[in-house]
Homo-oligomer: A and B are copies of this chain.
């Protein structure tokens, strides 16, 4: 029995979170990349911490607060208008170049997003990228007030699409999301955007490891959480063949 639905993570999977770097670089010349990396790490930490503390606030709040933290720690002064301008880019992230074609090629399956983003953020992204016309559902964890990788978040796929986890292929570039989805029982394809060889080579090529390399390492290399993806792919463009030729 083939996969009946393909469900995508949004941030870092369909949409390039690093595309905010151009805006942060414009606001804080010389610091664009480091702000973007630190912001992303703290944004994720806050989703996990707030979930564990049972103090959920939606992803718009977490995204704002983690940017405030990042600028404060780096000693960068800002104002509300600059903050708003940077955060606005989060509603209009660049899709990965192969995202549209991959979605279009799998239109014979049900297609959806399951994301930590708030409903307003996700609707904005789907409209800005034009993916709203290709997707059958845009599912926000906000319905359960807890973030991934809680099982309650992944359970929203079945509640929304009426399909069992075994009938669904979940796609994410985020290692922790891959492990969470596997622990829940979904079939999972991991987009491995940086190979271990490339990462290790970059880490060892200089005496002082570049901070951006290490921050990327933290986000792109598979975690040691006792789970492994069913499929490892290098890009979204490999998905249509997997969906056509493999069965769960």
- A34-B214, A208-B210, A211-B210 are known contacts. Are A221 and B73 too (CB-CB below 8 A)? yes
Write the A195-213 contact mask toward B (1 if CB under 8 angstroms, else 0): 0100111011001111100
Write the A207-226 contact mask toward B (1 if CB under 8 angstroms, else 0): 11111001101100101111
| Among A13-21, A44-52, A92-100, the stretch in contact with B | A44-52
Write the A58-83 contact mask toward B (1 if CB under 8 angstroms, else 0): 00000001101100111100000000
Interface residues of chain A: helix, strand, loop or mixed (majority):
helix
A54 interfacial contact with B, CB 8 Å: yes
A151 interfacial contact with B, CB 8 Å: yes
Q: What are the residues of chain B within 8 A of A38 when measuring CB–CB? A: 214, 217-218
Top-5 shortest CB links A-B:
A75-B200, A65-B224, A211-B211, A48-B48, A69-B224
User: What are 29 residue pairs bridging A and B, where the CB atoms are less than 8 Å apart in the complex?
Assistant: A38-B214, A38-B218, A45-B223, A46-B223, A46-B225, A48-B48, A48-B52, A49-B223, A51-B52, A52-B52, A53-B149, A53-B151, A53-B180, A53-B183, A54-B183, A55-B183, A55-B225, A57-B226, A65-B224, A66-B224, A69-B221, A69-B223, A69-B224, A74-B200, A74-B203, A74-B209, A75-B201, A208-B211, A210-B211
Given contacts A34-B209, A42-B218, A74-B204, 18 further A-B contacts (CB under 8 A): A42-B224, A45-B45, A45-B48, A46-B225, A49-B149, A50-B225, A52-B180, A53-B180, A54-B151, A55-B225, A72-B196, A73-B196, A73-B203, A73-B217, A74-B203, A74-B209, A74-B217, A208-B210
